[in-house]
Structure 1
Amino acid sequence: MLKWLSRLFLLCLLLVFSGATAVFALYQQVKAELPDVSALREVQLDVPLRILSQDGELISQFGEQKRDPVTLAQLPPLLIDAFLATEDARFYEHPGIDPIGIARAAIVWITTGEKRQGASTITQQVARNFFLSREKTVTRKVKEIFLALHIESLLTKEEILELYLNKIPLGNRAHGVSAAAQVYYGKTVDQLTLAEMAMIAGLPQAPSLLNPIRSPERAAERRALVLGRMLELGKIGRQDYQQAMAAPVAASYHGTKITLSAPYLAEMAHQFALTMYGEAAYGLGLNIYTTVHAKEQEAANRALTDRLLAYDLRHGYRGAEAQLWQGRPWDDSRIRQHLDEQPGYWPLEPAVVTAVQAHSATIVIKEKGERQLSWDGMKWARRYITDSRQGHPPRRAGDILEAGEQIWVRSTADGWLLAQVPEINGALVSLRPSDGAVTALVGGFNFSLNKFNRVEQAKRQMGSNIKPFIYSAALDQGFGLSSLIDDAPIDSWDPGKGVPWRPRNSPNVYDGPIRLREALARSKNVVSIRLLRETGIDNALTRLRQFGFDTSDIPPTESLALGSPSATPLEMAAGYAAFANGGLKVDPYVVERIEDARGNVIYRHNPVSQRIISEENAFLITDALTSAIWGGSTRGKHWNGTGRRAGLALERKDIAGKTGTTNQSRDAWFSGFTPDRVATAWVGFDDFSRPLGRTAYNPNLSSAQVSGGEFGASAALPIWIDYMKAALADFPVRQRAVPANLYSAQIDTYTGEITTDTGVDTRDEYFELGKELRRVTIIHQPGAGFGERSVTEELF
């Protein structure tokens, strides 16, 4: 007996030695292929790139994986217990691999022939997730075991568990428990219920098959298993278990929770990050802080959207989006299913007409159910004929709608309003004139509908928005705001085209000799041309380049005085910023700083500026542009500037600005500023050949409506006003300081000469010390009288 025991003991020693030798041999075989796990101490989780406002609102997120790393201390203890109970109940007891767990899994496999239990510990899963593939081979498993043992020798259990809970893939591109809480429940981890924690803890085994969105029944079964293990281990009580088991599987997909809509700006910041860091930017966990604040951006969104929809409304109704049925109507479930598949373009929502009454209609709105569309919400809908023609005002709801139509509606303070996706488009951009920081930016009606960013990509004819730059060049050539220029028709021969060139004012009225201040404020076209002739085209082009405009493709012709050159709204706003800040050129920027995943600032924008015009020049142009807002008087008769609506709406004496409209009203502009904000609004069709048209008076609506031609003052200026009402609310009115080299004197508004007389024909004007003003000889061309109607160019 003793002899057999000795032999058995020797056999066991031999087996142990053979096993140890085999393990050592395996280790030597894979040793060279094992990664350096010490990198886990400095691991950088792939965290998405986030774009934020100055006040921390989330604008956008870029990256393949959704991850929001959290510390172990930030996780609810029950959530940790749920994972440990399911994935590795002996986590705090084993050295990285669990022999007991391996033996148990092996016994189940041998006795049943099925692999019902996994034998990988949480440490092994960390090794696999960070360093290995998921291929099922012996070599990979051996590497996993050795890596797990090595990880346990370097990191604490808490560090390993934190890495695991932030790295583990949990389906629907969610990596880590915090991302899963957002994706499946739209919650932060501290807001999860026990049932939701158990659901998430059940996902690691097969996240694509067990997630509650794709497979609610399988997910419920897996949740039950997790809850059962927690009850078995004493982590929860019987009552909590029963309540969690009874909870419905209420998960649904929740995308990244965007708290501020600024998609055009987000894409600009996104491209900036790619330029700085390349494709690595998507996983570095960078936080890109833009220059905008939520309040101003939201105001810009509303201003552009509301005014584009208003333009569309007054030009007529183009009809339903689609006709879903004629005759036998769809049932409720089919209507709702159809609506669920339709996109929405804020603030427009898809709806279906189910019945039409005499002066109302019954509609079903996506996600809101049945509603009534009143007569007040549809009586605007004259038939659209062309951009300049509308049909007769409707008299009953049947003139507009019929059952079975898919339409668009929007919610207003007065109820639901029939609407349509506008064909017109526009842009609005605002800067801080002191350094060029973008404070609000909207590049079009809807980013998901069209991603073309008109703020920085749409080069459109400038119209009369160009005139302040022409006048600025003239001031440096000896002119002053009191200088007289002849406002009389021009009839010039164009040798290049072999035809007469007859630019005209808009309206087509001519006042004879006129001061520069009044000519700029009233946007007199022929005065701009005569001023360009006296200044010189080369000087004007030089001035445009100084303001940042590309002049390489601008023909050196007199038409540039009317705004034939093209520029983007961003270039225009940057140009006007130099008037607002006293003569400094600033470069617009959208990224203020970049922080890494740990909150360290790794980039901060350093604004630079350069003087391009004198303080005196900037002040004089700005002061003239205040007259475009508030008007003035000549010979005792008051006249209005082209931007007078801004003065009436904002009631501030520190605003200045200029309208702009191009030939046939293809582009409408308004650029204006205060010392604190400069903004440009542009409206037009993406099809450059399509004019903005005109509208007839609609007797179905109130008298407070826009009718007639579409110009800068009617199409673009209201956008600027709506935005500035919100943007300037926190800024007090600021009076501009008069440069030391300027003095004020009283002039005769008829002659522009300094006078000691007082009365209705005088006003104060600014002059530069020691500067003799130029006068232009008044030449009245035969055959072209004041008020005579001429043709061709009409940019204004």
Structure 2
Amino acid sequence: MSTWRPLSRPPWWQRWLPEFLHGPVKIAFILGILGTIAAAGLAFFYFSLAMRFDLDEIEKLPAGTVFLDRKGVELPVSAASSRKLATREDLPDFLVKALQAREDARFFEHSGVDVRGLARATVRNIKDWEFTQGASTLTMQLARNTYDIRAKSLHRKFLEIALTLRVESRYTKDQILTAYLNRIYFGSGADGIEQASQTYFGRPTRELNDNECAMIVGIIRGPHIFSPLRNLKGALEQRDQTLDRMIAMGFINEARKEEIQKIPLHLMNSDDQESRPSYAFRAIESEFDRIRELEDIPPGKLTVITTLDSDWQSRLEEELNRSVESLENEKSWNHPTRAEHVAGEDPTYLQFAAVTTETKTGAVLALIGGRDFRHSRYNRATNVRRDLGSAFEPFVAAAAAERGKLVLAGRPVQTGRQIGPAEVERLAKRCGLAGPFLKTEDLFRGSVAASPMEMSVGLATLGNDGKRPKPYFIQQILNEDGDVLYTAEPQLTPALSANAARDARSVLHSHAGTRCFTGATGSEREAWTLRLGPSGSTAIWLGFDVSTKIANHERLEALLDEFVDRLGND
């Protein structure tokens, strides 16, 4: 019986290919099947993860930011109460086209993921061996901001893509675009397009003209550095770049661009905004803007723990007001008192400013920029530069001690002569004083200008054994779940030797557990108090905005001594 059987005919692809390719093709086929299964599994995994997120969050108003002092006391901030969601009808068509041109040219064409842009970014990332480009569409940015997907990794990108496709399947393009504008941060404390419009232009989004629309879209990529309230030149450059992109996409032509640039910008004056209830909060907000941009912190319910000590700030302000009001009641000059101030006019009454920094770290415990924030938003704590007079003596002493010379308490001229004006200036700058400095021996008598902030840092340098701290206002930023997004790291710079700093402190007078120095300039137009407490270094300035004699030396000395007595220990 025969066992012969006909050979089976080879598959068609083997008949078409040379024999040496049969093995590699089989391997490629198997790998292709395995790759398809793996890709399907990966897609299933990430879409399963994406299903855990509540898509209703997309259209909700993000929770506002809460600011706390260092002890957990909430600081009063009125800006959050003015937030509201814009609708698609509130958005001018020009604003929508500007956003499309600047941020996502193919927004109305792609399905949430711009495949071409993603492929281009992937090639670039492989070349750079890091995630330098993300090719994020507006929908991807919306998903990222809504659900706080921040880490730069493949896992984050895959999850973001899965969420993006879910969002696109649920919402229309107009809804996505509107939700995006309601969620992003525009700088200067403005979360969302409606608050940004009110902050920058003082009116609702629906009333913005084409010039304002182009500007507000332009600042999205750098809301802190391009805020028109801080950097109008930069904001105008970003506006022009947005208009150029609109020309490239055929939305406008060059002639229309020139017309738009001539439309008046109704920019708000930063002093007209009521969202900043104090000088201290204005400084906090500025630092918050900078940190938020540098650390890429998303909008949402954030808790900002500041360095302020509300109790100390209130105590300092109350006692300063009490002292100055007693001087005003003596009617020793013709200027009006604060009570006699005429609304709408620049204040001409006696002012004060004060800064307390934590000596060891530079954390700002208190900042007072004037007697009444409602009358004047000008921050005298950081911007006023006035003659120091006898208050400069501790820094003359520090410079002499650093060079191994004698510190002659109460005799700054003789102390300074041992090393000369140039050396005193150099050492004072190392302590944080920027000047200008007089180049003669009158420098030893205090012919140098400084701000209260500089004096507080300088005093802290002496109290911190010669290490100059960098002042800061924010300790930590936490998200809604309590996760720490940012923590401040104190920065100390060596300025003097510890021995020189200790010798310089010897010219301060001991008083109730603190070391103080009070004095007025020779013209009796400025008065200063330096107070080195157990934990804080306080510098206080007293004077008029337009330099005018306050009172005689004896009265000013007595006034400041009484103030220090009442202030007590910290």
TM-score, scaled relative to structure 2: 0.53
Q: How big is each residue's C-alpha offset from its partner over 1:611-655, in whole Å with a ceiling of 9 and x where there is no partner?
A: 222222222222342xx34xxxxxxxxxxxxxxxxx3xxxx3x42
Question: Equivalences for 1:71-110 in 2 at 5 Å?
Answer: none
Q: How far apart, in 2, do the equivalents of 1:611 and 1:271 lie?
A: 27
Q: How far apart, in 2, do the equivalents of 1:681 and 1:319 lie?
A: 21
544, 551, 567: which one aligns with 1:693: 551
Aligned to 2:12: none
359, 364, 377: which one aligns with 1:438: 364
Aligned to 1:678: 537
Q: How far is 1:660 from its partner?
A: 2.8
Q: How big is each residue's C-alpha offset from its partner over 1:748-779, in whole Å with a ceiling of 9 and x where there is no partner?
A: xxxxxxxxxxxxxxxxxxxxxxxxxxxxxxxx
415, 418, 425: which one aligns with 1:531: 415
Amino acid at match of 1:270: E
- Is residue 283 of structure 2 the alignment partner of residue 268 of structure 1? yes
Question: Equivalences for 1:708-727 in 2 at 5 Å?
Answer: 709-711=554-556, 713-723=557-567, 725=568
Aligned to 1:303: 319
Aligned to 1:62: 79
Q: How big is each residue's C-alpha offset from its partner over 1:58-84, in whole Å with a ceiling of 9 and x where there is no partner?
A: 2324357347xxxxxxxxxxxxxxxxx
- Is residue 386 of structure 2 the alignment partner of residue 472 of structure 1? no
Name the SS of the counterpart of 2:489 in structure 1.
Answer: coil
Aligned identity (percent) is 21
Q: How far is 1:678 from its partner?
A: 1.4
Conservation of the 8 A alpha-carbon contact between 1:532 and 1:540? yes
Conservation of the 8 A alpha-carbon contact between 1:51 and 1:61? no
Aligned to 2:514: 655
Q: How big is each residue's C-alpha offset from its partner over 1:87-125, in whole Å with a ceiling of 9 and x where there is no partner?
A: xxxxxxxxxxxxxxxxxxxxxxxxxxxxxxxxxxxxxxx
Q: How far apart, in 2, do the equivalents of 1:431 and 1:58 lie?
A: 19
Aligned to 2:305: 289
Conservation of the 8 A alpha-carbon contact between 1:49 and 1:282? no
Number of matched residues?
347
Q: How far is 1:564 from its partner?
A: 0.9
TM-aligned CA distance change 1:460 to 1:534, over 3 Å: same
Conservation of the 8 A alpha-carbon contact between 2:288 and 2:474? no
Q: How far apart, in 2, do the equivalents of 1:56 and 1:599 lie?
A: 17
Q: How far is 1:276 from its partner?
A: 3.3
TM-aligned CA distance change 1:657 to 1:262, over 3 Å: farther
Gaps of 5+ in 2: 1-52, 92-165, 172-178, 184-190, 192-273
- Is residue 89 of structure 2 the alignment partner of residue 133 of structure 1? yes
Q: How far is 1:422 from its partner?
A: 7.6
Gaps of 5+ in 1: 1-36, 68-128, 136-149, 156-162, 168-174, 176-256, 322-344, 351-405, 408-420, 482-515, 630-646, 695-707, 729-796
Aligned to 1:589: 472
471, 487, 497: which one aligns with 1:614: 497
Q: How big is each residue's C-alpha offset from its partner over 1:432-460, in whole Å with a ceiling of 9 and x where there is no partner?
A: 10101111221111101111111111111
TM-aligned CA distance change 1:316 to 1:474, over 3 Å: closer
Conservation of the 8 A alpha-carbon contact between 2:333 and 2:550? no
Q: How far is 1:38 from its partner?
A: 7.6
449, 458, 466: which one aligns with 1:575: 458
Amino acid at match of 1:691: K
Question: Equivalences for 1:301-700 in 2 at 5 Å?
Answer: 301-315=317-331, 423-481=349-407, 516=408, 520=409, 523=410, 527-551=411-435, 553-625=436-508, 628-629=509-510, 647=511, 652=512, 654-688=513-547, 690-694=548-552
Q: Which structure has greater helix proportion? A: 2
Q: How far is 1:669 from its partner?
A: 0.4
Name the SS of the counterpart of 1:479 in structure 2.
Answer: coil
Q: How far apart, in 1, do the equivalents of 2:297 and 2:80 lie?
A: 8
Amino acid at match of 1:133: E
Q: How far apart, in 1, do the equivalents of 2:361 and 2:515 lie?
A: 19
Q: How far is 1:57 from its partner?
A: 1.9
Q: How far apart, in 1, do the equivalents of 2:77 and 2:399 lie?
A: 43
Amino acid at match of 2:406: G
Q: How far apart, in 2, do the equivalents of 1:459 and 1:320 lie?
A: 23
Amino acid at match of 2:312: E
Q: Which has the larger radius of gyration?
A: 1
Q: How far apart, in 2, do the equivalents of 1:63 and 1:282 lie?
A: 16
Q: CA RMSD of the aligned region, Å?
A: 4.3
TM-aligned CA distance change 1:306 to 1:300, over 3 Å: same
Q: How far is 1:46 from its partner?
A: 3.9
Conservation of the 8 A alpha-carbon contact between 1:429 and 1:441? yes
Name the SS of the counterpart of 1:589 in structure 2.
Answer: coil
Q: How far is 1:715 from its partner?
A: 4.1
Name the SS of the counterpart of 1:59 in structure 2.
Answer: coil
Amino acid at match of 1:571: E
Aligned to 1:498: none
Q: How far apart, in 2, do the equivalents of 1:318 and 1:664 lie?
A: 18
TM-aligned CA distance change 1:655 to 1:130, over 3 Å: closer
Conservation of the 8 A alpha-carbon contact between 2:354 and 2:369? yes
Name the SS of the counterpart of 1:60 in structure 2.
Answer: coil
Amino acid at match of 1:271: S
TM-score, scaled relative to structure 1: 0.39
Q: Which deviates the most, 441-450 or 654-663?
A: 654-663
